[in-house]
Structure 1
Amino acid sequence: IDFVKINDFEAAMQYGVSTFPTLVYFRKKTPVVYDGDLLNEDKVLAWLTSHENIELKDEIEEVNRKMLDKLLDENDFVAVFFFDDNCPKCDSVLAELETIDDEVDDLDVTFVKINDIKYARKYGIAQVPAIVYFRRKFPSIFRGDLMKEEEVLEWLKKNRK
């Protein structure tokens, strides 16, 4: 995390800052304002690294191979969206899936995305976009229409039981 100190009233107003000093954390260009004691280093650090700041609402977190392996080791229920940056359909599917991210979280299913076609092949994925649901590390591939996010959600609910 990089800290930048600025003295720009217009920028402050743009992000809803009206009292100074104020700490604003930008996560993927989304500002999050800290409302605690700026002199308490432990609380500032806890806030910066809190689950609420790390995870953005309605956004599926991107992981790499190592992170995915760790998630599979530490979580019983993980849904993984495999995609590729050069896949226009992947972008459309992702936009639909991000609308159900909160509902998936409510199921206690960790929902992540990974841009790694070679790693997808390890789990039997021949082409992207694709979703694999891991129940205690055992993979199950979604065979329906990924553009129908409610169908995906129902499939995850069914497999969660």
Structure 2
Amino acid sequence: MCDTFRSVLLLLFVVSLCHVIYSSQVKQVTTEEFRETIEKEKYVLVLFYYDTDTCTRCADAEKEIEKVQTPEMFDQDIVKVKCDDPGTAVKYGVHTIPQLIFFRKASPVLYEIPEDTRVILWEDVTVWLDNAKTIATQTLYEDSFEHLTQASTGATTGDWLVIFYNSACQSYLSAIEGAAIELKQRMNVAKVDTDINPVLATRFGIKECPTTYFFRQGKMYLYFSDDKNHYDIKSLRLFATSWYKNVKAVKVPSIPTYFEKLTESIAMSLKEKMNSPKRNQFLIIIGIVLANNNALAKFLTSNKQYHIHASGPCIVNIREKKQSKSHHALQNNPPGSGCMNLTKPQAQGVTSATSDHGTKYQLPYSRIQCQQQSFYLSTIRPWNNFPA
């Protein structure tokens, strides 16, 4: 019985020892293995380094990461890997070596290494991992931006630090998330993808990628840096907490109207057509439309012999009759003939009128009077067959 008990204790000890050895390992991964790991595993801690033989800080950092254990509140173990691919490092906002990125369901957050020592310590990393377990940056869309931020009214949802980005500058998101982790008890931090939110991009005049604004009490403050490497956690944190006061406050633009949204939608559609492989065909169609519009404008303004029938897509062709016979002609026409006494010199936009004898007629009509001149209706032609 005692031997059995000792065997069980020994087995538990071996399993526990194996777990410690496994969790202390920092596995070297290739670029492809790196992508597979962050897609497969829920929590991944990545050490970006140069060469442990020549970079003493990189070697020291690896030793510290080996000591890091998964915090108790995590539902899965943290997988620890190291990567020396510069392209992958830059993709996720790494500008100095060594550096740590923590992935939560493939969402990266940058670790802020102390500037004075530039040393990575396992105790500091463990505390940071516990705080960074949950993603802190919110995602805003055109249908939720104003509701959540109340940016234009400065209402009660608090201050917001918002980065506007697209696929060309996603590398800055890890620093924004790093700032969000540190600021989550003080304000909201969010991101807006301008590729899928063009109306918001237009509303806030986004021209550069990325562009970051701090929204506070109906005003917005532009985060500015000559060096884009200053999209670091410390700079973002200081800007959102105090330095924004040194930037000119701008009133938050109002919510765009339906017409403005429609105009933007048309503009985006035209832009897509212009950038498409069928660009030349599209330009030909635009040329034809513009030419027809010019002909129509000339037709409406320079020739009093024609009239647009407002209630349908057709051209009404009318012929002038001499003034001396016009009044008697109107008096003698029976109801139903379409005689009308119009007060405007042109009949554009008119769908009905009243004759001299009080009868109301609907267009199309056979005869009208306009400023003491009598006209006879001769033809009604489709739009695509109107006379130039």
Normalised TM-score (structure 2): 0.26
Write the distance in 2 (CA, Å) between the matches of 1:151 and 1:128: 18
* Alignment-derived partner of residue 58 in structure 1: 24
Residues 76-126 of structure 1: CA distance to partner in whole angstroms, max 9, x if unpaired? 2111000011322101111122112xx138742211111222210010101
Whether the 8 Å contact between 1:83 and 1:129 is mirrored in structure 2 is yes
Any residues of structure 2 matched to 1:60-139 within 5 Å, and which? Answer: 60-85=26-51, 86-100=54-68, 103-104=69-70, 107=74, 108-139=77-108
Whether the 8 Å contact between 1:144 and 1:152 is mirrored in structure 2 is no
Residue aligned with 2:36, SS: helix
Whether the 8 Å contact between 1:97 and 1:149 is mirrored in structure 2 is yes
Which stretch shifts more, 144-153 or 74-83?
Answer: 144-153
* Alignment-derived partner of residue 150 in structure 1: 123
Residue aligned with 1:80, SS: strand
Tell me by how many angstroms 1:68 deviates.
0.9
User: Which runs of 5 or more structure 2 residues have no equivalent in the other structure?
Assistant: 1-17, 135-388
User: Which runs of 5 or more structure 1 residues have no equivalent in the other structure?
Assistant: 1-51
Normalised TM-score (structure 1): 0.59
* Alignment-derived partner of residue 132 in structure 2: 159
Tell me by how many angstroms 1:59 deviates.
2.2
Write the distance in 2 (CA, Å) between the matches of 1:104 and 1:57: 8
What fraction of aligned residue pairs are identical, expressed as a percent?
A: 24
Tell me by how many angstroms 1:56 deviates.
4.6
Higher relative contact order (CA 8 A, sep 6+): 1
**Runs of 4+ deviating beyond 2 Å:** 55-59, 104-107, 144-147
Residues 113/105 of structure 1: CA separation in 2 closer, same or farther (3 Å cut): farther
Which stretch shifts more, 56-65 or 112-121?
Answer: 56-65
Tell me by how many angstroms 1:128 deviates.
0.8
Write the distance in 1 (CA, Å) between the matches of 2:38 and 2:25: 20
Tell me by how many angstroms 1:147 deviates.
2.5
Write the distance in 2 (CA, Å) between the matches of 1:72 and 1:93: 21
Residue aligned with 1:160, SS: coil
Residues 111/57 of structure 1: CA separation in 2 closer, same or farther (3 Å cut): closer
Any residues of structure 2 matched to 1:33-52 within 5 Å, and which? Answer: none
Residue aligned with 1:104, SS: coil
Write the distance in 1 (CA, Å) between the matches of 2:87 and 2:120: 23
Residues 44-86 of structure 1: CA distance to partner in whole angstroms, max 9, x if unpaired? xxxxxxxx6xx75622111111111001111121110000113
Write the distance in 2 (CA, Å) between the matches of 1:65 and 1:77: 18
Whether the 8 Å contact between 1:144 and 1:151 is mirrored in structure 2 is no
Write the distance in 2 (CA, Å) between the matches of 1:105 and 1:71: 20
Residue-pair matches, total = 107
Write the distance in 2 (CA, Å) between the matches of 1:61 and 1:114: 9
Write the distance in 1 (CA, Å) between the matches of 2:22 and 2:43: 20
Write the distance in 2 (CA, Å) between the matches of 1:60 and 1:109: 11
Write the distance in 2 (CA, Å) between the matches of 1:105 and 1:63: 23
Write the distance in 2 (CA, Å) between the matches of 1:84 and 1:74: 25
Write the distance in 1 (CA, Å) between the matches of 2:83 and 2:62: 11
Which one-letter code corresponds to 1:92 in the other structure? D
